[in-house]
Structure 1
Amino acid sequence: MVDSLEDTIEEERLELMVSPTGGDPTLRIAHFLKPSVTSIDGPISNLPLDAHSFEDTIAKPNIWASKVAFNGWRNPQKQWKHWVHHMHSLHQSTWKEAGIHEAVMNSTFEIPRNDNLIFAFAEKWCCETRTFVFPWGEATITLEDMMVLGGYSVLGDSVSSSLKNGELEQIHEKLIQAHLQVTRSRARKADQSTWIAKFVDSGSEIEHEAFLALWLSRFVVPASSAKIVAKVVFPIAVRLSRGIKVALAPAVLARIYRDLSLLKDITVKMKTLNGNEDDDNDVRVTSLAPLQLVQTWIWERFPTLRPNPHLIENDAPRMARWDKRKKVNSENVRQAINSASEHFLWRPYAMAANGYLPCKLYKEEAEWMPVGSGLDEEVSSLARCVRVSELVGLDCTEQYLPHRVAMQFGFDQDLPGHVPRGEQTRKIAWENYTRPIGDTVLYIPSRLFEADVTKRYLDWWKRSIFGGHNVTKTAREQRSSSESLKKTVLHISNEKKADNDLLVPPGFRPKCNMVEVSFDDDDEDKQTLAKLVRKIPTESEKSLSRENGKPSLDPQVQSPSSSSTADNGTVGKDKCHVKPVDNSIRRKLAMEDSEKEAESGTFVHDSVSISNKAESSSLDACETPGLDLEARIGKLEYAVAFLKAAKFGHRSD
């Protein structure tokens, strides 16, 4: 549960942000999913020790497949497609009302299983965090994937809810009687083939419910025997047949999480046995999850590992792109995974496929949506996708931690906060999943926005993966050390454009002329405000950037508390919350830096120049290598207050 958390989903704050692949940090307003931690000493959800190995588990992945029964990975039967199209002509409006239209149509597609691909990703699965841990970051299958790729609803009744309506109970009883009749046949069980023969094109009053019962039993939440129709799904089928939404997305995702953990256990055991087939007779597992969603998730996000997708019509399910697609050569799949940082698609659904976007939430511009009693279903669905919760399935509950993979939703990433989880019943878990939204507004990122990570997150990640497991201790030791602060001041001006051009890719003009100050100290909180301010362009520098045909460095988002009208009269983008700092304030802060450093009695004189065609100024800064930062806190507080009052002001400004 998340009882200890303030029940809001998002937060925004001014942070030093950097690309997940590294580079120069930028000071800007960033948006995070909660719980996020702003200090290495905070309650971080660290990676477990066994999540750091990126070596192949065993050399014979074909051995794994013989140890796993993929009972949840089902292809359509011979008569199934015919039955689907017949029922579609009669009940498609009901399916859309119940939020299962695309999910039912997905059952007509065939996804050939690639065992090597599935097990390569199972190696990367972390059972504690419910994420894949790669050398370059975390990613996972989320409720968004269940909605867009699987076609399931995140809203509606629980899959374990009982029927309380008299009419619905009568239909349920008729299904029970039909199930009993089938089990009395020669097969002695509710075999799916026998079920189809009994109901397809029968004109029975419960044919639709019988159809949905088979669909649920075979493709959504299969029973332990994948070839039977399970009575446990009858209440769900009855609800769906009346257009009542049922939250199938969390139920399916819970099983996927559970079964990925089972597959991870297999890889660990096989590694222990070193792939010896004579010693692994007891290593067996049955997967009941539709793991074809895992494989198509991989294909959506790893372009180098996928076959060419089909071109589909705008109203076709997203899954149709992968129908009967043949697997690609996957001999070097692990190498491709470990080196995929530059190619991984964080938001594949936000890119228009054939000019079509699957959800109206993938908009060109970022915006704030008010939260109230009449909240749009798609916005409510988004809130469920990005909020920490418990996933309730038919036979399991799993923790859902989207704040660890915020960039998959277009949000920035900070240190992931720890989410405590105590003993809980299915009822308590469902109450956690359906709890009210605590935010008054929800931020919806632009589909074109490329999210970043905080500098401290990037440092934490590198230490977690490559620098030892005791991340917190390492950070504390670094902060308590008396290493002197080292600086590199880059003198950049219009007179030396050749040097400036080295900071951008070939063929591109620089956005603006800036003074970059880099520090060896990993804790950016210890940098003086004057040094951080030097990274923010002035108004004239922004003008020069626009004249060069490049966009401003400042993000343009619509704030809930302020709005602006564009020149064409339409209400659109707001001015950036991080206002540019003019040269007078830069000079004032630089002078304060000089005064503080003068107190040490030793000076190293550097000349810092900022110039462009609109204005130029020279700042003489006195630098002291080895200066104790703690002694400067008092005067720095004044600088912070001065800057906030003079430049950041209120959002309504």
Structure 2
Amino acid sequence: MADHEDTLVEVREAVMHPPSGGNPTRRKAHFLKPLLKEHDKDLPSPPGSLFSPESITNKTRYQMKSYKRNPTENWKIWVERLKPRWQEIWKQAGIYEAILASTYTFSKDKDLIIGLAERWCAETNTLVFPWGEVSITLEDVIFLGNYSVLGASFFSPVADENVSILSGLKRVHRECSRNRGQVVTASKWMQYFMCGGDQLEHEAFLAMWLSKFVVICSADHISVRNFQAAINLSRGNRIALAPLVLASIYRDMRLLHNSIVESVVEMSFSICHGDLVHMWAWERFPNLRPPPSVVERGEPRSARWNGVEIMKVKDMRAALDSAKELFMWRPYSITSSDCMLSNLYRDDEQWVVVDSDETESYARCLRVSWLVGSGHIEQYLPHRVAMQFGYDQDVPPRVVLPNQSPETAWRSYRRRIRGTKLYIPPRLFESDVSSRYMVWWKSFMSVNEETPGCDEEISEDEIPIAQLMSQSRKTKNSGKRFNLEPKEDAVMSKCDDHTEVDPDNSKDCNSSEAARVEVKTLDAPDCPSEVAERQEEFVDEDSMTITQLLSRSETNGCLGMTPSGKQNKCNSCTGNPTDLEADSVIAVANDEVVRKASCPEHNIVNIKEESSGSSPSESPQLDLEARIWRLEKIFEIIKAEKLAASSGRILG
């Protein structure tokens, strides 16, 4: 049956694998859109190479600045003085918790920020670790920053009746600057408005809050460009500040990553919302976080980290790269918070229609879109980190959003989403990854293995596979590894391994023949005799040469590759094969808008128990598929190089 066009989630039967290892199971899986086609074997390129520079030993040369400074006592006093009168307006505008959080203090962990920036991928705005791909999402900004994903644009003009208020704020700004062109500091601004009960005090307060804690251009300056938003907020009008804040985080992480890649010896860097990056890491890496504070009723979740001392970690990179078993995929569904999204995280799965602020906020966290920042635009790709929302992970298509103006990008973000059907996983559900994702990720990790080179002139057939793949990776990335900034004129109409998106529904894009990758489906499980042989003597096929591997495959009585590229089958094997790609789409019931169950309907089948004679190791079929995939890529590289060399001799 055809998939529903008005849903953000695709449901189908699939063989799923625990990301931390374990037996695969066939069950009903839920994937975030956009997706590759069900049987599409042309897998996209991975999210860039894992960047592994030498450890930064002299971190004293790296000075971390943060434009968002800890609050002064005068600011805390101002917040407490205005809260009784204006808190209802703040709640109506969706900024009450964010204003309270502006009175909190946060320590700076330079090693943590640098460790995260090393793993940042500017192409996808994600963090790529050896154990998986994760990111800071709109959900994180809602829970930790207390900003809204709903509302008008930050750059919306004021209503006609409020133009006089805008003129009044500009007049005071000129007076505080003494002479034209001089900046207005926060201390001057507070001194002017806190003393006399000016009628513009509330608008001036919000203008300072925006300048120092939200749209930060300087550590201590009041910006005139924030006045319109301050006036709109003072009237209780909601503004979508979350995409603005997340866009600035993406920009700062990209700039810091590029500086590290370029091996800048001495560097001073700024993370405007460094507190949010810290809190994101503390929520998700238990091995890195300090003991949290006790949160009182009515306090935002960020109060957990108010005033805590940073934890000293000897080797930050090792701690991050080894966090496979520790990473918290869904910290907000496990513990309760005073956040409207918390009401959606229930013990049972749900199908709902997006018809309220709560469900619309959650849905916007799940949809691919643009994020309009202050002077820049960033891609938001939640389908790459679906497990952070409780969904299963498939190979994410490479989404390329064409360059747009801020106005067009904002309209794309704001496009209608109400009326969409939305699946919400159980709050304690543990997501899995698809079979082709396992193959894709294993191949990605193999490509990123660092293997010493060989100076002698030898045939490609004598080079170990792992080493040849390492050399091909270096050749492929040569000249563009450090160029992570997106091109301004990069409007994609067609692509190789990219997918141009609506972005509600993914559209397929044919890959070039040179970049085609064929993932083969095994016809039969391993035979018992081969399993016994592997148990007696383990052979690392990645360390073998191509000639040795082909010779081994020719003499193998069971599964393997022949020189023609076909697979041998074991005649003694019995039992039904497991088709890893045979995933049928299950349609959502039209009449059932909201469905609850005591537990998810997984219909789990243990593949290990069903398969006769399967290996005790984790999914040997997938290991073989990964090796086949790598070997095919090697043959393509060798063929292309020999063809180029032959052409050169003919021309010569």
- Give me the TM-score of the superposition, normalised by structure 1: 0.70
The equivalent of 2:389 in structure 1 is: 409
1:228 to 221, 228, 234: 221
Instruction: Write the letter of the residue equivalent to 1:343.
Output: L
Q: How far apart are the structure 2 equivalents of 1:529 and 1:90?
A: 74
Within the candidate set 94, 98, 107, 1:112 is matched to 107
Distance 1:28 1:486 in 2: 20
> Does 2:436 align with 1:456?
yes
Q: Which residue of 1 aligns with 2:256?
A: 263
Q: 2:238 matched to 1:245?
A: yes
Following superposition of structure 1 onto structure 2, how do residues 471-490 of structure 1 map, counting pairs within 5 Å?
A: 479=519, 485-487=524-526
**Deviation sequence 1:265-303 (CA, Å, 0-9, x none):** 111122xx6x4x5xxxxx555x36211100111001000
**d(CA) in 2 for partners of 1:314 and 1:558?**
42
Shift of 1:579: 8.9
CA–CA separation in structure 2 for the residues paired with 1:462 and 1:97: 48
Q: Distance in 1 between matches of 2:184 and 2:215?
A: 16
Residues 517-540 of structure 1: CA deviation (Å, up to 9, x unaligned): x9999x9xx999944499xxxxxx
1:110 and 1:323 in contact (8 A); partners too: yes
Contact 1:54/1:135 (<8 A) preserved:
no
Amino acid aligned to 1:262: L
**Cα pair distance change 1:45/1:235, threshold 3 Å:** farther
Distance 1:382 1:519, change over 3 A: farther
Q: Secondary structure at the match of 2:26?
A: strand
Distance in structure 1 (CA, Å) of the matches to 2:446 and 2:416: 40
Alpha-carbon distance, 1:53 to partner: 2.9
Alpha-carbon contact 1:563-1:574 (below 8 Å) kept: no
How many angstroms apart in 2 are the aligned matches of 1:306 and 1:295?
9
Give the counterpart letter for 1:576 in structure 2.
E
Q: Are 1:370 and 2:353 an aligned pair? A: yes
Q: Which residue, out of 300, 315, 329, partners 1:332?
A: 315
In 2, the alpha carbon distance for the partners of 1:198 and 1:152 equals 28
Q: Deviations over 1:405-442 (max 9, x none)?
A: 00111111101112122221001100110111287411
How do residues 463-542 of structure 1 correspond to structure 2 at under 5 angstroms? 463-467=443-447, 479=519, 485-487=524-526, 530-532=576-578
Greater RCO, CA 8 A, separation 6+: 2
**Equivalent residues of 1:70, 1:288 under 8 A apart:** yes
Match of 1:88 in 2: 83
Following superposition, the deviation at residue 69 of structure 1 comes to 3.7
| 1:438-486 deviation per Cα after TM superposition (whole angstroms, max 9, x unaligned) | 87411111111111111111221121122355899999677579x9854
User: Is 1:70 aligned with 2:66?
Assistant: yes
Matches within 5 A, 1:606-617: none
Aligned to 2:492: none
| CA–CA separation in structure 1 for the residues paired with 2:604 and 2:300 | 44
In structure 2, the CA distance between the partners of 1:440 and 1:423, relative to structure 1 (3 Å rule), is: closer
Alpha-carbon distance in 1 for matches of 2:426, 2:323: 24
Distance 1:431 1:465, change over 3 A: same
Q: How does 1:289-368 map to 2 (within 5 A)?
A: 289-353=272-336, 359-368=342-351
Q: CA deviation at 1:83?
A: 0.5
Structure 1 stretch displaced more, 5-14 or 80-89: 5-14
Q: Deviations over 1:308-364 (max 9, x none)?
A: 001112321111111111111122211110100000001111112589996211111
The letter of the residue matching 1:196 is M
Tell me by how many angstroms 1:200 deviates: 1.7
- Could you report, residue by residue, the CA deviation over 1:236-280 in whole angstroms, capped at 9, with x for unpaired residues? 10011111000100001001100000110111122xx6x4x5xxx
**Residues 1:32 and 2:31 are matched in the alignment:** yes
Correspondence 1:576 to 2:601: yes
Q: Which residue of 2 aligns with 1:391?
A: 371
Label 1:75 to 1:571 Cα distance change in 2 as closer, same or farther (>3 A): closer
1:210/1:463 CA distance change after superposition, 3 Å: same
What's the counterpart of residue 382 of structure 1? 362
Conserved? CA contact 1:146–1:253, under 8 Å: yes
Counterpart position of 2:11: 12
Distance 1:172 1:10 in 2: 44
Match of 2:22 in 1: 23
Partner letter of residue 183 of structure 2?
K
Q: Deviations over 1:346-399 (max 9, x none)?
A: 11111125899962111111101123xxx1101000111010000012221100
TM-score (norm 2): 0.71
CA distance in 1, matches of 2:234, 2:207: 10
Q: Give 1:47's aligned residue.
A: 47
1:178 matched residue in structure 2 = 172
Instruction: Name the CA shift for 1:234/1:577 in 2 (closer, same or farther; >3 Å).
Output: same
Query: Which whole-Å deviations, capped at 9, do the CAs of 1:199-240 have from their partners, x for residues lacking one?
Result: 1253211111100000100011112x3211000101110011
**C-alpha separation in 1, matches of 2:223 and 2:408:** 25
Name the counterpart of 2:152. Answer: 157
Q: 1:183 to 1:412 in 2, by over 3 A?
A: same
> Which shows bigger deviation, 17-26 or 108-117?
17-26
What is the distance in 2 between the residues matched to 1:174 and 1:489?
84
Judged with a 3 Å threshold, the aligned counterparts in structure 2 of structure 1 residues 328 and 558 are, in CA distance, closer, same or farther, namely farther
Letter in 2 for 1:44: P
Matched, 1:435 2:434: no
Is the alpha carbon distance of 1:439 and 1:454 closer, same or farther for their aligned partners in structure 2, counting shifts above 3 Å? farther
| Greater mean alpha carbon deviation, residues 297-306 or residues 414-423 | 414-423
- The CA distance in 1 between the partners of 2:445 and 2:195, in whole Å, is 57
Distance 1:245 1:564, change over 3 A: closer
CA RMSD of aligned residues (A): 3.8
Per-residue CA deviation, residues 45-104 of structure 1 (Å, 9 max, x unaligned), is: 5312xx313454422223222xx5432x31101200011111111111111111111111
The structural deviation recorded for 1:28 is: 0.9
Which amino acid is the alignment partner of residue 189 of structure 1? V
CA deviation string 1:523-562 (max 9, x = no partner): 9xx999944499xxxxxxxxxxxxxxxxxxxxxx996557
d(CA) in 2 for partners of 1:211, 1:354:
27
CA distance in 1, matches of 2:600, 2:345: 21
C-alpha separation in 2, matches of 1:87 and 1:364: 39
Structure 1 unaligned blocks of 5 or more = 278-282, 491-517, 535-556, 591-605, 609-653
- The answer (yes or no) to whether the contact 2:300–2:337 under 8 Å persists in 1 is no
Structure 1's 200 and 466: CA in aligned 2 closer, same or farther, altered over 3 A? farther
* Distance in 2 separating the partners of 1:140 and 1:403: 11
Q: Percent identity?
A: 40
Name the CA shift for 1:134/1:56 in 2 (closer, same or farther; >3 Å): farther
Q: Distance in 2 between matches of 1:168 and 1:269?
A: 48
Cα displacement (A) at 1:25: 1.3
Distance 1:114 1:173, change over 3 A: same
